[in-house]
Amino acid sequence: MKRVAFLVCSLTLFISLSACSTSDALSLARQACTYVQSSINQYNAATKNKDPKAASVQYASALLDLRKAEPLASIAAGEDTQWQALQATLSESSRVPEKNLIYSLTQQCQSAKSGGV
């Protein structure tokens, strides 16, 4: 009887901790997506900016925001595999132009916005 009680308690604790981890992962993904959205906004503004020097500053700022998002997405992906795609896409920002990442990042952040579904 004690073994059964121990197993039930252990299982309950495991499920509770798993739920907390998923909740934390969603929160981290949303934080990352705040940086992603800021980056996309700055990138779009830079593409329309007629002043090359100002546009260059906006592009750099956009890239910096993607870099700020990456560690948050990495932690989220470690806690919940659902966020691995977001983390992987952000990790490409050092090799792939942002214009090629925007669609994927937008879709992945939409998932975070809607509760991770």
Q: At what angle do helices 102-113 and 84-91 cross, to 10 degrees?
A: 150
CA-angle at 113, arms to 112 and 117, nearest 5°: 55
Q: Residues 79, 43, 76, CA angle at the centre, nearest 5°?
A: 0
Of the listed ranges 15-24, 27-36, 72-81, the least confidently predicted one is 15-24
Predicted confidence at residue 115, as pLDDT, reads: 87
Continuous H helices in 49-113: 52-79, 84-91, 102-113
Residue 19 clears pLDDT 90, i.e. is over it:
no
pLDDT of residue 37: 99
The pLDDT of residue 85 is above 70? yes
- Residues 34-74 have pLDDT tens digits of 999 999 999 999 999 999 999 999 999 999 999 999 999 99
| pLDDT at 96 > cutoff 60 | yes
